[in-house]
Chain A
């Protein structure tokens, strides 16, 4: 099956810092989503981004489908940004494949 690799696995940030999370995938996909899982376990959709660039407040994402990677940018990080960020891709079989996640801790 398709492989989804996220880096870095763990990240500690000082509040106010910027960061970039990366997602590499091994095959062409119909869909790519970035999720944030908060400390209570809820998976919140950040971006639906099979290609191109999107921005939502302090977060933005870019997917280069031809090169099979996506980037999630966090600017001016806040403590509420802490949690696990998952990249998930949808190949042709209607089954979303998750990466192992980026554990982000933002310290005040």
Chain B
């Protein structure tokens, strides 16, 4: 089945130690998104790639960066994780454009713990 896959499901990292989360998709969607979700809150968009074009949200901290080396993969890099960065990180994809009959597809998420 076509899907969005995130690895790992759980990640523990040390305060200040760089960490990378990965996302891959077999849907061949144009757009890939990274969301941060803290406890009892709605997901918050960090940034997205439309093909190779990177779109950062205005309030996303500089500590968060992303790479999309090809259509299938997208990475979230946290350069110096703080305790406040502990959260669920969700990757999503969509076809993009005005005509989209399928909407967004989310991966199963990576739960990040900072110790």
Contacts and interface: CB of A to CB of B under 8 A. Distances in A.
Do A and B share a complex?
yes
Interface of A: 30-31, 33, 35, 40-45, 48, 86, 88, 90, 94-96, 98-101
A100 B103 CA distance: 19
Given A40-B108, A43-B109, 13 more contacts: A30-B98, A33-B103, A42-B109, A43-B43, A43-B90, A44-B106, A45-B106, A48-B103, A88-B104, A94-B96, A96-B33, A98-B43, A99-B42
28 contacts: A30-B98, A30-B100, A31-B100, A31-B103, A35-B106, A40-B108, A41-B37, A41-B108, A41-B111, A42-B106, A42-B108, A42-B109, A43-B43, A43-B90, A43-B106, A43-B109, A45-B103, A45-B104, A45-B106, A86-B42, A86-B43, A94-B48, A94-B50, A95-B45, A96-B45, A96-B92, A98-B43, A99-B42
Nearest to B33: A96
B72 interface: no
Interface string B29-55: 001010001000111010010100000
B105 interface: yes
B88 interface: yes
Contacts of B70: none
A48 B100 CA distance: 10
Question: How many residues of B sit at the interface, in one of the four size bands?
Answer: 20 to 34
A36 B81 CA distance: 29
A96 B96 CA distance: 11
B105 A45 contact: yes
Nearest to A30: B98
A48 B105 contact: no
Contacts of A99: 42
A99 B42 CA distance: 7
B14 to A, nearest CB: 22
A80 B109 CA distance: 19
A31 B96 CA distance: 11
Nearest to B101: A48
Contacts of A96: 33, 45, 92, 104
